[in-house]
Amino acid sequence: MPLSTAPRRTSLRFRLLLGLLAPVALFIVINSVSVYRQALAAATTAYDRTLLASAKTIGEQLDVTGYDEAAVLRATVPYSALEAFEADNQSRMYYRVSTQRGELVSGFEELPFWHGRLPDRPPYAALVDFYDDRFRARPVRVAVLLQPVASSQGRGMAVVQVAETLELREALARRLLVDMLWRQLLLAAVIAGVTVLVVQLATRPVRALGRAIEARAAGDLSPIDAPDAPRELLPLLDAMTGVMGRLQRLLDHQKRFVRDAAHQLRTPLAVLKAQVQSARRGDLPAAEALADIGGTVERATLLANQMLSLAKIEQLRQQPEWETLDLGEVVRQVALDLSPLVADKALDFELAVQPAAVHAHRWMLTELARNLLHNAIKHSPAGGGLAVRVAVQDGRALLRVSDAGPGIPAELRQRLFAPFAAGDVARGSGLGLAICREIVHTLGGDIALDNRTAPDGRVTGLDALVRLPLARH
């Protein structure tokens, strides 16, 4: 069984969820990073106070003998003095007491001596500086306190450094982050749930419309009646109604075509069958029987071709593949193709065409000109006049075919445009003018048949007038 290659379609619910939750998730990520940094900064500020308190505690236990440059500092600081500032054994604290020249007085000698400078605006009312460093391959936060030391025996300045590892600060920042994250995730879950519910409610009319369309009969192409449909669905409903209307017209045309074809072809086929049977019985001479059969076949062929032309007009109307064409050039080519018929009747033929650009399918213009010119040749007497003119008049393309035939009575003139309404049943199928009318109406024009009369009221011929809109440049 071959694997299906059809693309998977995403649902509207999924698209809305993705469209809403993706920005929310991005906001949560950005906000989490920002909150973590703010929490770490807050923890740093809070625990810097502890470092400063530790440094002050150490500074209070210093003694000095001598003054200024000759001062000698002494410190009696047991490490247990820092244990009060170590919380839950999560972090470790180290200290170093030095002179201003960097000479170790007490504490951890491997703790690097401070070589920085005090900030212009220290965060506390003390000569203190805070910085990040590494000690024993671990990151630490260091507080430096310049502690004045005075006694009855001297006066000097001590540099007290207290370093703390970062576990406690990072743990506090993580707790704040986790507390914020679960609230944000809960909010995202609420948004997702509300979105699903809202989408479910909002798409209910779509599902109801789908069920209503699915429940229709196979041949029901009537307009969709959905008064409760939301306004956003109206363009879709209008488009579907338009499509179904075009399908209904196409189906009606096909039914009419099949009905007409069955009705119109039945008669010549019956006549042909009778003629063949008569020829077999020998009722007529062979040449006369074959001539009758040939005439019937010719009329049936003409009828079939013209019915196919009517069907093709409907096809081109539904799926137009049109272009800008010169009506005069098309008429000139058709006149050239029919010139043997003109010569056969020795007609006084006049062709006067001007450029006239129209938007149409080439087959339509060719079929229009061919039918009008063929009818004019057929009804013109031998040696009579026949004129074909193409011009631009009143902003429209005008095609005029003028013959010298007997004209058409007024009561028959409009009826000739109906299918199978032939003026001469023995010589035509009654579809030529119907084809012309369908083509002209499809192109947005109009067609008329007018008798030409002499001053004494005598009919001198027939004018077939076609007006088509010019192509827009």
- Quick one: 360 and 242 in the same domain? no
Query: Could you tell me whether strands 128-135 and 138-151 are parallel, antiparallel, or unpaired per DSSP bridges?
Result: antiparallel
- Whose tokens are 């370093």? That residue is 163
CATH no. for residue 349? 3.30.565.10
End-to-end C-alpha distance for the chain, whole angstroms? 54
- Whose tokens are 């005439």? That residue is 295
Domains identified in the chain, total number: 3
User: Does the residue 204 lie in any domain?
Assistant: no
Look at the alpha carbons of 247, 251, 256, 258 in this order and tell me if their dihedral is positive or negative: positive
- Quick one: 325 and 315 in the same domain? no
- Quick one: 149 and 22 in the same domain? yes
User: Does the residue 158 lie in any domain?
Assistant: yes
User: Does the residue 188 lie in any domain?
Assistant: no
Q: Which residue has the higher pLDDT, 105 or 467?
A: 467
DSSP reduced 3-state for 427: coil
Per-residue pLDDT tens over the stretch 24-69: 888 888 887 887 788 777 777 878 888 888 888 888 888 888 887 7
Helix or strand holding residue 376 (H, E): helix 362-379
Q: Which domain holds residue 394?
A: 321-469
Boundary (domain end) residue, out of 319, 342, 365: 319
DSSP reduced 3-state for 173: helix
Q: Which whole number is the average pLDDT over 267-292?
A: 77
pLDDT at 283: 76
Query: Could you tell me whether strands 154-165 and 62-67 are parallel, antiparallel, or unpaired per DSSP bridges?
Result: parallel
pLDDT at 468 over 90: yes
pLDDT at 83: 61
Of 100, 104, 155, 161, whose CA–CA distance to 133 is shortest? 161
Average pLDDT, the chain: 79
- Quick one: 127 and 268 in the same domain? no
Put simply, whether the predicted model's pTM sits higher than 0.85 gets the answer no
- Quick one: 333 and 416 in the same domain? yes
Of 197-211, 311-325, 455-469, give the lowest mean pLDDT range: 311-325
Opening angle at CA 289, ends 283 and 295, nearest 5: 145
User: Does the residue 198 lie in any domain?
Assistant: no
pLDDT at 4 over 50: no
Per-residue pLDDT tens over the stretch 195-235: 788 878 877 877 777 787 777 777 777 777 777 777 777 78
- Quick one: 385 and 419 in the same domain? yes
Look at the alpha carbons of 35, 37, 43, 46 in this order and tell me if their dihedral is positive or negative: negative
User: Does the residue 195 lie in any domain?
Assistant: no
User: Does the residue 6 lie in any domain?
Assistant: no
CATH no. for residue 77? 3.30.450
Per-residue pLDDT tens over the stretch 109-126: 888 898 888 887 777 767
Query: Could you tell me whether strands 357-360 and 459-469 are parallel, antiparallel, or unpaired per DSSP bridges?
Result: unpaired
> Is residue 268 within 8 Å of 300, Cβ to Cβ?
yes
User: Does the residue 185 lie in any domain?
Assistant: no
User: Does the residue 205 lie in any domain?
Assistant: no
Of 46, 129, 51, 38, whose CA–CA distance to 85 is shortest? 51
Per-residue pLDDT tens over the stretch 432-454: 677 788 888 888 899 888 888 88
Look at the alpha carbons of 124, 127, 130, 136 in this order and tell me if their dihedral is positive or negative: negative
- Quick one: 293 and 426 in the same domain? no
- Quick one: 367 and 249 in the same domain? no
Quote the tokens at residue 100.
């201003």
- Quick one: 231 and 281 in the same domain? yes
- Quick one: 331 and 456 in the same domain? yes
pLDDT at 245 over 90: no
- Quick one: 23 and 111 in the same domain? yes
> Is residue 327 within 8 Å of 397, Cβ to Cβ?
yes
Q: Which whole number is the average pLDDT over 416-442?
A: 63
CA dist., res. 140 & res. 80, Å (int): 19
Q: pLDDT band for 5, please (50, 70, 90 cuts).
A: low
